[in-house]
Amino acid sequence: MTDWIEAEITKVVNEYGEVPPLWIIFPDEHPYSMCWRMGYGESYVDIWGKWWREQHFDEAQRINYFHRWTPPDVWLKWTIEAIWELRAWEDDDFDYTPYFDRLLALGFGGKEDYEKDLSDPKWFDAEDDE
């Protein structure tokens, strides 16, 4: 099953130098879009995830990766989960606040930026166009 993933990783690395995060390949997709649950969007999640796990990055390397591929604010929760290897979706009461504060201190957006972008009508308009 992973042969196709390995082939795609090689293809993407040859093009970009490493496997970029989801918003680089699909810049107009919201993190909660159906794109990530079907078709190449779903496949790319698998490609990125396998590549990411194989890197064995430490925290500083993960942060540097996201500085190279600066996340749009709407992707900050996803970035938090990747940098600090969180499984926050398993806890309905998970508090991202300290992690947003850490992101902000690292030069990324913070919680207010995330919430503002999350509710931006551009995301809803894009879904209506499909």
CA angle 45, 43, 118 (to 5 degrees): 45
Cα 18 → chain centroid: 14
Domain span at 57: 3-129
The pTM score is 0.90
Number of domains in the chain: 1
pLDDT tens digits along 7-63: 999 999 999 999 999 999 999 999 999 999 998 999 999 999 999 999 999 999 999
Give the pLDDT confidence score for residue 2 in this predicted structure. Answer: 65
8 Å CB contact between 124 and 117: no
pLDDT tens digits along 107-120: 999 999 999 999 89
